[in-house]
Structure 1
Amino acid sequence: MWMRGNRRIFCAKTNRIFACSNILIIQHVTVRDSGYYKCVSSSNNRSFYQASVMVPASIIDSEGEIVRVNAAALESVQLKCHVRQDSFPKSVEVLWQYDDSYIAIGNTLQLRDIDQNKMGVYKCSASNGYGDPATKSFHLETTKVALDVEVQVADSMGCQSQPSCLVCTLTYLVTSITLYYGIF
């Protein structure tokens, strides 16, 4: 007879967990099935068994999807990879990748001073050694914010047919725009 804790496991094949004779069967195993099971023989000798369920790591939200993240230039961004923590007996390791290179370890990736060199796809991979790693990708984009303003007095060559003008150059994260203001 099989028992889990003080509860007897019966030979009812309609149950997910059942035992017939000396065989214990657990169908559709979940983490909740971890624990101590004992087989009690008719001669009152007892054998104890511990069942540990090996569950691959998983990401709680948006696993396998690409999440779009917008950030203004020079801001900071936190990317989070929320993983299930029920992968007993092993812990879950989270690795971060950018451009196919590993850049960090841990559930959270902190990116500071966002600029065009940090735009692109970041991927977190969660693994506990069982099954394939779970992944989640983040596509980081930035909004254009003026980083530098330069004003110059220009001669008639740069003033588009005006005798003189001020040239205002705004340097953005991604592009540069030049505005001409005529002086009459």
Structure 2
Amino acid sequence: MKKQILVSPDPRVNLVHGYSLEIREAGPQDAGDYVCQIATLEPREITHTVEILENDITFLDLIETLEPRKFTQTVGILVPPRIHYVTSNGRVEVKKGSSVRLECKASGNPTPKVTWSRKNNLLPDGVQTAVAPALSLERVDRHQAGVYQCTAANGVGDDVNTHVCLQVTRSSLEAEHIFLLFLLYL
């Protein structure tokens, strides 16, 4: 029934009570236009948009539209957000004074908004959250170490989040300086 197919070979698609189209386990592959033709004396066309939540049973109900000859449905599939990549699997170790880029990639429909926050603290630039798929930190020091949270949201289902633990180690020059001071006090 999708894209001018008269009879669907897909066992997930059925007519229910003669007037409703049922799509079981709807997914992104089901997006498109759906047309129902009803024989009447006056040919008319009505178009509607239908949104489907992924994995829900969906009915395109035609009971109230017995007059039109042609009925078109545009179907969009909504997919909850999912995070499928985060920098270094959530654990990053950098030397003091270096730069680091924390990345978080998410998918869904509509495209999720990705935000960064810091657990129990503000982000290094003094804000609570930053809307971006990546967070760049320059000349890091021990004050920027901590747990950073990536959140993906698109209004479908629950928001999802993951964490990146940033550990800042001393630079080799600083470690050498501390070691020399230690030797002087012996």
The answer to whether 1:75 aligns with 2:75 is no
Q: How big is each residue's C-alpha offset from its partner over 1:25-62, in whole Å with a ceiling of 9 and x where there is no partner?
A: 11112122221111111346101111222211111236
- 1:180 is aligned to 184
Q: Deviations over 1:107-132 (max 9, x none)?
A: 01101111111111101101011111
Structure 2: distance between partners of 1:106 and 1:26: 36
Correspondences of 1:78-89 after superposition (within 5 Å): 78-84=101-107, 86-88=108-110
CA–CA distance in 1 between the matches of 2:116 and 2:156? 19
| 1:50 pairs with one of 66, 71, 74 | 74
Q: 1:123 to 1:181 in 2, by over 3 A?
A: closer
Structure 1 residue 38 and structure 2 residue 35: aligned?
A: yes
Q: CA deviation at 1:147?
A: 5.7
* Bigger RCO of structures 1 and 2 (CA < 8 A, at least 6 apart): 2
Q: Which residue of 1 aligns with 2:5?
A: 7
- Does residue 63 of structure 2 align to residue 59 of structure 1? no
Counterparts of 1:181 and 1:118, CA distance in 2: 31
- Does the 8 Å contact 1:9/1:19 carry over to 2? no
Aligned equivalents of 2:133, 2:171: Cα separation in 1? 29
**How many aligned residue pairs are there?**
151
Question: 2:14 is matched with which residue?
Answer: 18
Whichever structure has more helix as a proportion of its residues is 2
Aligned-pair Cα RMSD in Å: 2.9
1:146-178 CA distances to partner (integer Å, 9 max, x unpaired)? 5659xxxxxxxxxxxxxxxxxxx8259xxx952
Normalised by the length of structure 2, the TM-score is: 0.69
Residues 105 and 77 (structure 1), Cα distance of their counterparts in 2 relative to 1, 3 Å cut: same
Query: Where do 5+ consecutive residues of structure 2 fail to align?
Result: 44-68, 123-127
The answer on 1:103 being equivalent to 2:129 is yes
* Aligned counterpart, 1:140: 166
Listed as ranges, the gaps of 5+ residues in structure 1 are 150-168
- In the superposition, relative to structure 1, how do residues 38 and 104 fare at CA in structure 2: closer, same or farther (>3 Å)? same
Aligned with 1:59: secondary structure? Answer: strand
Give secondary structure in 2 for the equivalent of 1:8: coil
Q: Secondary structure at the residue paired with 2:177?
A: strand
> With structure 1 as the length reference, what TM-score do the two structures score?
0.70
Q: Give yes or no for contact 2:103–2:133 (8 Å, CA) kept in 1.
A: yes
Kindly indicate whether the alpha-carbon contact (under 8 Å) linking 1:9 and 1:18 is maintained by their aligned counterparts in 2. no
Q: Is the 8 A contact 2:13 2:22 kept in 1?
A: yes
CA contact (8 A) 2:4 2:35 kept: no
Q: Secondary structure at the match of 2:182?
A: strand
- Rounded to whole Å, the distance in 1 between the matches of 2:15 and 2:178 is 73
* Amino acid aligned to 1:28: E
